[in-house]
Amino acid sequence: MEKILELKNLRTYYSTDAGTAKAVDGVGFSIAPNRTLGVVGESGSGKSVTALSIMRLIPTPPGYFAGGEIFWKGRDLLQLQEEEMRRVRGNEIAMIFQEPMSSLNPVFTCGRQIMEQILIHQPFSQTEAKDRTIELLRLVGIADPARRFSAWPHELSGGMRQRVMIAMALSCSPSLLIADEPTTALDVTVQAQILDLIARLQADTGMSVLLITHDFGVVAELCEEVLVMYASRVVEKGSVRDIFANPLHPYTRGLLKSIPRIGSKAERLHVIEGSVPSAIHIPPGCRFAPRCPMADGRCFNEQPELVSYEPGHEAACWKAG
């Protein structure tokens, strides 16, 4: 299958007073056109830094790319000059950030901010850009878009602000939309509306989606493929069907067991003991070994690499299979 985006052995590090933080350490995956890839894992797993690396939005310093490649339609984004990258960013690859209130500029109206994106990347006049903005606001389900064009970010609810961010991301018809926890801090009803909106827009436009989340329920609803990250590395990847039916890595199994189930008896949810290790102090061997009930001596001393156990289903675990 054709690949629109491919990461190969990406390593994104940060220099700190305490040492080098390996935020992304050898990550590789690909996305095909009109497909949705879900990236799941606990906070600190490297999901958001992976997304920011693709967008070349890592603050340098202290961040830097220690190795790897990010191929976008055959071009390595890490080799582009900043001016070339600006033409890709927002125009071909767009991103929705976690918290819309902090992502929108409080001193500009919502419509003006979408217009600015259009005018930077598209050969539109002011009038054409305004008309396009109003149409985008209507597309993402904002009532009375002509009036909302002049609304300030603080005048909108969290769900409405997230819709504005989606409209901004779609303003230049990107081929890839990166959604980083797009429903964080929203109530469950609004979460469902936002996820349905993303799915509908993808069906209408044919764009690919990279969805970052910690919620396997969201993955099951929107994604065809899943990438499970832990401590800056990929520990399992495969189709949604394979991951849910036959999880190979103990970490993936633990995440799936922690999902609340309707109709189940009132009992405590499964808990993965411990926490994700610091990116500065990564343990030797398998990074999940200190929390894994199956770990033995080899797990603590030798780092497993991703191995294919079924077509399209890979895991990095000595106990998999």
Average pLDDT of the chain? Answer: 88
Contacting residues for 254 by C-beta, under 8 A, at least 6 apart: 270, 272
| Gap between the Cα atoms of 309 and 315, Å rounded | 7
Q: How confident is the model at residue 267 (pLDDT cuts 50, 70, 90)?
A: low
- Asked if residue 169 has pLDDT above 70, the reply is yes
Name which of 27, 10, 18 is nearest 287 in CA terms.
27
DSSP 248-313: -SHHHHHHHHTS--TT--S-PPP---S-PPPSSSPPSS-TTGGG-TT--HHHHHSPPPPEEEETTE
Residue 219 within any structural domain of the chain: yes
Grade residue 2 by pLDDT with cuts at 50, 70 and 90.
confident
Distance in angstroms (rounded) separating the CA atoms of residues 218 and 53: 23
| pLDDT (0 to 100) of residue 188 | 77
Half-sphere exposure of 128 (CA within 13 A, CB side): 6
DSSP 79: G
* Residue 97 resides in a domain: no
Per-residue model confidence (pLDDT) at position 266:
57
Residue 21 in contact with residue 209, Cβ under 8 Å? no
What CATH number should be reported for the domain holding residue 39?
A: 3.40.50.300
The DSSP-derived string for 92-128 is TEEEE-S-HHHHS-TTS-HHHHHHHHHHHHS---HHH
Confidence bin at 271 (pLDDT 50/70/90):
confident
Tell me, yes or no, whether 106 lies in a domain.
no
Q: Which domain holds residue 28?
A: 1-83+177-189+209-262+269-321
User: Is residue 157 in some structural domain?
Assistant: no
Q: How far is CA 124 from CA 139, 281, 312, in A?
A: 19, 50, 43
The angle formed by the CA atoms of residues 311, 209 and 51, to the nearest 5 degrees, is 95
Has residue 175 got a pLDDT over 60? Answer: yes
In a domain, 65, yes or no: yes
Question: Per-residue pLDDT tens for 113-122?
Answer: 999 888 888 8
| Number of domains within the chain | 1
- The answer to whether residue 138 sits within a structural domain is no
* Six token digits for residue 58: 């890592």
Judge whether residue 263 has pLDDT over 70: no
Can you give the length of the chain in residues?
321
User: Which residue type occupies 58?
Assistant: I
Separation CA 248–CA 182 (nearest Å): 28
Position 320 pLDDT exceeds 70: yes
* pLDDT, position 22: 94
User: Which range in 100-114, 174-188, 289-303 is most confidently predicted, on average pLDDT?
Assistant: 289-303
Question: What pLDDT score was predicted for residue 214?
Answer: 82
Q: Is residue 110 part of a domain?
A: no
Interior angle at CA 214, CA 51 and CA 210, nearest 5:
35
- Contact predicate 96/163, CB 8 Å: no
Percent pLDDT > 70 in the chain is: 96
Whole-prediction pTM? 0.87
> For residue 197, is pLDDT > 70?
yes
Residue 164 DSSP SS3 = helix
Per-residue confidence (pLDDT) for residue 185, from 0 to 100: 66
- At 235, the pLDDT band (50, 70, 90 cuts) reads very high
Q: Does the pLDDT of residue 108 top 80, yes or no?
A: yes
